[in-house]
Amino acid sequence: MASTSAATLLIGSTLSFGHKSGSLAQPKPFGVRLASRTSLASFSGLKATTLVSCEAESSFLGKESGVALQQSVARKVQKQSQRLQYHLQPQASFKVAILGAAGGIGQPLSLLIKMSPLVSALHLYDIANVKGVAADLSHCNTPSQVLDFTGASELPNSLKGVNVVVIPAGVPRKPGMTRDDLFNINANIVKSLVEAVADNCPDAFIHIISNPVNSTVPIAAEILKQKDVYDPKKLFGVTTLDVVRANAFVAQKKNLKLIDVDVPVIGGHAGITILPLLSKTRPSVSFTDEEVEELTVRIQNAGTEVVEAKAGAGSATLSMAYAAARFVESSLRALDGDGDVYECSFVQSDLTELPFFASRVKLGRKGIEALIPSDLQGLTEYEQKALDALKPELKASIEKGIEFAQKQAVAA
- Contact call for residues 216 and 186 (beta carbons, < 8 A): yes
**Cα three-residue angle 155-363-97, rounded to 5 degrees:** 15
DSSP per residue, 149-168? EESGGGHHHHHTT-SEEEE-
Q: Is 123 within 8 Å of 104 (Cβ atoms)?
A: no
Radius of gyration of the chain (CA): 26
Residue 269 is among the residues annotated as catalytic for this protein? yes
Alpha carbon dihedral 162, 221, 274, 281, in 10-degree steps, equals: -60
For residues 265 and 246, the answer to whether their CB atoms sit within 8 Å is yes
Dist CA 336 CA 1 (whole Å): 16
Cα–Cα distance list, 65 to 28, 29, 305, 351 (Å): 15, 14, 64, 52
At 384, give phi and psi (nearest 5°): -65, -40
Q: Which of 371, 363, 317 is nearest to 105 (CA)?
A: 317
Q: What letter represents residue 223's amino acid?
A: I
CA atoms within 13 A on the CB side of 334: 25
Quote the CA–CA distance of 268 and 346 in Å, as a whole number.
6
- Out of 87, 123, 207, 269, the active site residue is 269
> Which residues are part of the catalytic machinery?
269
